[in-house]
Amino acid sequence: MELRIEVICTGDEVLTGKIVNTNFSYITQKLEDFGLSVQWETTVGDDRENLLLAFQLAGQRADAVIVNGGLGPTVDDLSQEIAARAAGVDLVLSEEWLSRMEEYFRRRSRVMPPNNRKQAMLPAGAEVLDNPIGTACGFAVDIGRARFFFTPGVPRELRRMLEEQIIPQLLAKSGMQAAIFLKRFHSYGIGESHADTLLAGVEDLVPDGSVKLGFRAHYPQLETKLTVRGKDMDDIRRKLAPVEQEVRRRLGNFILAEGDQTLERVVLEELTARQAALSLVETFTSGQIAARIAHLPGAGKVIRRGIVVPDLAEVCAAVGLESAALANGITREAAEAVARAVRQQTGSTHALAVLIEIDDGADRIDIGGTVCLAIATEHDVASRRSRIVGGREWVRLGAVEMGLDCLRRYLKALPVHERIDFEIAEPRVAAAGAKPSS
C-alpha cells in the first residue's frame, strides 16, 4: 500500500526564515531514497493553537506524520505538550528517559539542569525513539488515524533517528520488502537529460521492477541514484551487480566517485598513495580549488602550495617565468609552462595550473570564460582548453570542477580531455589547435 506521509516542521526560527528549512528537504529526500513519498508539508511556529490544528489536520489525512522540532528544554518547545493534547492523553514522566539524560550529563561531568526534566515528559503510552547523541527524546504516538513520529530539530540527531528508527517503521508499515539500498554515482560533465538518455533501460536489467533510477543535479556535478529493494542485502547485491556494472560502462570516465566518496577525496587519496606533493596555480577561481581540497584531513602534507593570482599579467612573475609566456593571452602551452614552473619552484611532484580569461563586461547569463589548464609532473605534462558560458559564477564553478576532475583523470590514467555538456565550441580559429593531448 502507498502510505500517505506528511511532515510538520515547527519553530519560529523556521517560520520567520531565520533559518532555511534544510531539515525538511533532508527528510523528504531520504524518504524518496527509500521509495517513500511525502505528500504534504506544514510549517508552524511555536504557537499552541497552530500546532494543535496542524496535528489534528494531519491526523485526519495521513497514515504517518513526521514532526520536526520543539523537543528542547525551553518554554517555547511545545511538541510533547501539544502531542498529548491532540492524542487526548496526559503528559507523564518517562523514568527511562530521565535516567538516560542524567547519565548523559554525568558522562560529560555535568549536573543536569532542572529544566531538562521537561524533555522526559511524554504523552502517556508513547513509544520512545532513541536519541543516542542528545537529550531530546524522540517518540511515536497515534493522533487521529495517523502514527506520529516526533524528532529533534538538531540535524545530526534528526538524521540518526530518521535512518535508524523511523524509516524501518515506515517501510514495515507500507508492507514493502524490508531491505533497501541506495547506490549513488557522482559525475562531472554530463547533464541530467543526457545521463537519462545514456542510461535508458538500465532498470529493466532486473525485470521485477525492484531497481529504480533517479538523478539529482547540483551543477557542476550530477548524482545518479539506483534504489534497490530486496529480501535482504544478499538479494540486493545480486540485483544491483549487473545494473551498477552497466551504469559504470555507460557513464564511463565521467564517474568521478561513488557512494560517500567525493572528487576532492579521490584526488587526495591518489596523491597520498604515491606520496606525491601537489602545487596549484589559480587565477579567476581565486582560491576555490585550493579551498576544496586543502582543508581535508591529511591534506597538509600533500598540498604543498596553492598560489592565487587573480591578474593574469602577474602569473608569470608569481611562478618565475618570463612574461612572454602569456603575452598572447592564454593558451594550452602557456598553462603547461606555468604548471611546469610552479612544480619546479615549489619542489612538488605534481602541479595543476588553471588559467582563465573571462569575457569583458557586466555579469550576465551569456558571459563566458576560456579555460586553459595543465597538469605537470617531472617527465610529463597534459593540458586542455575549454570554453564555458553562463555568467561569471557559473564559469568559476565549472572551472573549479574541471581542474579537479582533470587532475583525477590524470592520476587515474584516463584521458584528460573528453567533451563535456557544459562547454561550447570556441568561435575562434585558435580553437582548431585545441585537440586533446592525452
Residues that bind a second copy (CB under 8 A): 15-22, 24-29, 32, 37-45, 47, 50, 54, 57, 216, 280, 284, 286-291, 293-295, 297, 299-301, 303-311, 314, 318, 346, 363, 392, 396
What does DSSP say about strands 179-188 and 255-258: parallel, antiparallel, or unpaired? antiparallel
Q: Which is nearer to a second copy, 364 or 412 (CB)?
A: 364
Beta-strand relationship, 221-230 and 179-188: antiparallel
Helix, strand, coil fractions of the chain, as percent rounded to 5: 40, 25, 35
Element (H, E) at 146: strand 146-151
Distance, CA of 308 to CA of 289 (rounded, Å): 10
- Nearer of residues 103 and 363 to a second copy, judged by Cβ: 363
- Closest to a second copy by CB, 120 vs 199, is 199
Measured CA to CA, the distance from residue 402 to residue 410 in angstroms comes to 12
Torsion of CA 201, 205, 207, 213, to 10 degrees: -50
Q: Return the number of the residue (173 or 216) whose C-beta is nearest a second copy.
A: 216
Of 103 and 393, which CB lies nearer to a second copy in the complex structure?
A: 393
Residue pair 26/9 in contact (Cβ under 8 Å)? The answer is no
C-beta closer to a second copy: residue 22 or 193:
22
Smallest separation (angstroms) from a second copy to the CB of 90: 28
Radius of gyration of the chain (CA): 27
* Other residues' Cβ atoms within 10 Å of the Cβ of residue 339: 28
Shortest approach of a second copy to residue 313 CB, angstroms? 9
Give the span between the Cα atoms of 247 and 252, in whole angstroms: 8
Q: Which grid cell sits at 135?
A: 537529550
CB of residue 300 vs a second copy: minimum separation in angstroms? 4
Residue with Cβ nearer a second copy (19 or 200): 19
What's the number of CA atoms in the CB half-sphere (13 Å) around residue 116? 17
Task: Compare residues 358 and 434 and give the one whose CB is closer to a second copy.
Answer: 358
| Alpha carbon distances (Å) from 370 to 289, 322, 424 | 17, 22, 10
Q: How far is the CB of 438 from a second copy (least distance, A)?
A: 27
Nearer to a second copy by Cβ, of 94 and 135: the residue is 135
User: Measured from the CB of residue 212, what is the shortest distance to a second copy in angstroms?
Assistant: 13
Min separation Cβ 112 and a second copy, Å:
18
Can you tell me the distance from the alpha carbon of 298 to that of 296, in angstroms, rounded to the nearest whole number? 6
Minimum CB separation of residue 22 from a second copy in Å reads: 6
How crowded is the C-beta side of 168, counted as CA atoms within 13 Å?
7
Backbone angles phi, psi at 216, to 5 degrees: -145, 110
Min dist. Cβ of residue 151 to a second copy (A)? 16
- 3-state secondary structure at position 2: coil
Least Å distance, CB 294 to a second copy, is 4
Closest CA to 296 of 278, 323, 317, 321: 278
